[in-house]
Amino acid sequence: MAPKKGAAKLIRKYFNVDGGIDILFFTFLMAILVIGLIMMYSASYVYAYQYTANHDSAYYFKRQFIWVLLGVAAMLVISRINYKTFETLFAVAGTGVSWLLLGVALIMPAHNGTHRHIYIGGFQFQPSDLAKFALILTLAAMLDKYHEAIVSKKPLQSNLARKVNETFNRPILNYSVRAILLMGLVIMIYAGLVIAGSHLSGTILIVAIGVVMLYLGEVRGKWFVAGIIGAGMLLMLLWNTDLLKGYMQDRIYAWQHKDFDPLGARWQINQALYAIGSGGLFGKGIGQSTLKHLYVSEPQNDMIFSIVVEEIGLVGAGIILILFALLIWRGVVIGINCPDRYGALIAMGVVFQVGIQVILNILVATDSIPNTGIPFPFFSYGGTAMLVNLAEMGFVLSISRRSKIRR
């Protein structure tokens, strides 16, 4: 009995044995996946026909489909893993691998003037996709481990700290400050590595994820006030110097001046607007987009949402938004009801990351903010991004098995 009991315990340590996955979350996700795959096919086939070697209309679809299958398989496997057990491992390994790969991307030959990708053979991989997830895992682990330090006001005990605190007669240097600065440093390193590869949108996402995670981790409000002031000053600095890269300035200029360079800087965004505008209330019908006919460049990528609106209209776009909202809501419910802080932070962090991506992508496609390349999760073409996103979903499902949701 003993060995058997020991084995069971061991299995329980590494795997989720009990508890079913949250069916609602799974359903919302599957609906999004199916719609996303169909729309990706519709948006991509003209472009695929035109630009692939054998005029293969299904070129992107086939690849995306395989990645979805792999991703769903990975997700289901991950949903069985007892994430708690690997808390430290995920943080250390995730951060280590991410930084390493981001570093490798930096020394890879530039592609389109950026160092965002790693190329191996015909295969390309964007390490920032992984980094986003690794950052969630790392911050979740840190916020969990340092939680007491974060919420406490206990001063640091080192000589220097004591002196400073005495000077100000307040516990300025305390455990909370130390933990937060440490996490801030981690976020800064992630962001720094991503922006070094000229990947502004990735950097924005990294910072946004970091902020959301810290917020979920009960870091006090004054830090965010300070952060906003700091970010504002940083923006002012970038704005008033030439630190922004040329193309970023172009994009901001193009966003401000709607008539600027219609065949160049504003081509893509204008075509996206035409597509959205052409959709109307109910859209032209799936497959009926005309702007995917080589007007919207790479319609399967970042601008896919414009083709989606063109084909299924405002109503279809609303349904998709509602599905994502439901996914986020369900992820938050799973997180809040999770008995451990680590799982709660991951579940919520992951769904908020998806939400931030959806919002930023739509804001770009609707010309509400300057153009920056953020893929539309589960819709835009991209194998590794799909794989990572589904792996994240696997974590949420895994957490849902342990969550104490009243069903």
Q: Residues in the site for another protein, rule: CB under 8 A?
A: 46, 147, 151, 212, 215-216, 218, 270, 273-281, 287-288, 290-291, 293-295, 309, 313-314, 317-318, 321, 324-325, 328-329, 332, 335-336, 339-341, 344, 348, 352, 355, 358-359, 362-363, 366, 368
Buried b (16+ CB within 10 A) or exposed e, 243-266: ebeeebebbbebbeeeeeeeeebb
- Give the type of residue at 404: K
Reduced to 3 states (helix: H, G, I; strand: E, B; else coil), residue 86 is: helix
Q: Give the residue from 40, 43, 12, 64 showing the smallest Cα distance to 385.
A: 64
Nearer to another protein, 198 or 357 (CB): 357
- Residue 385 Cβ vs another protein, minimum distance, rounded to whole Å: 20
Supply the DSSP symbol for 110. P
Q: How far apart are CA 136 and CA 144, in angstroms?
A: 12
- Residue 94 Cβ vs another protein, minimum distance, rounded to whole Å: 22
Contacting residues for 190 by C-beta, under 8 A, at least 6 apart: 95, 98, 99, 102, 131, 135, 206, 210
Reduced to 3 states (helix: H, G, I; strand: E, B; else coil), residue 119 is: strand
Nearer to another protein, 186 or 344 (CB): 344
Q: How many residues does the chain have?
A: 407
Nearer to another protein, 204 or 275 (CB): 275
Q: How far apart are CA 185 and CA 149, in angstroms?
A: 17
Nearer to another protein, 141 or 193 (CB): 141
- Residue 350 Cβ vs another protein, minimum distance, rounded to whole Å: 13
- Residue 101 Cβ vs another protein, minimum distance, rounded to whole Å: 29
- Residue 229 Cβ vs another protein, minimum distance, rounded to whole Å: 19
- Residue 391 Cβ vs another protein, minimum distance, rounded to whole Å: 22
Nearer to another protein, 224 or 253 (CB): 224
Half-sphere exposure of 124 (CA within 13 A, CB side): 12
Reduced to 3 states (helix: H, G, I; strand: E, B; else coil), residue 114 is: strand
* Residue with token string 């160049």: 264
Q: How far apart are CA 61 and CA 63, in angstroms?
A: 5
Nearer to another protein, 230 or 287 (CB): 287
Nearer to another protein, 177 or 344 (CB): 344
8 Å CB contact between 112 and 301: no
Q: Give the residue from 264, 377, 384 showing the smallest Cα distance to 324.
A: 377
Nearer to another protein, 270 or 300 (CB): 270
Nearer to another protein, 244 or 314 (CB): 314
Dihedral sign for Cα atoms in the order 52, 59, 267, 295: positive
Extract the tokens encoding 264.
């160049």
- Residue 104 Cβ vs another protein, minimum distance, rounded to whole Å: 34
- Residue 275 Cβ vs another protein, minimum distance, rounded to whole Å: 7
- Residue 110 Cβ vs another protein, minimum distance, rounded to whole Å: 28
CA dihedral (112, 115, 117, 123) in degrees, to 10, reads: 60
Give the chain's largest Cα–Cα span.
Answer: 78
Q: Give the residue from 282, 266, 239, 257 showing the smallest Cα distance to 371.
A: 266
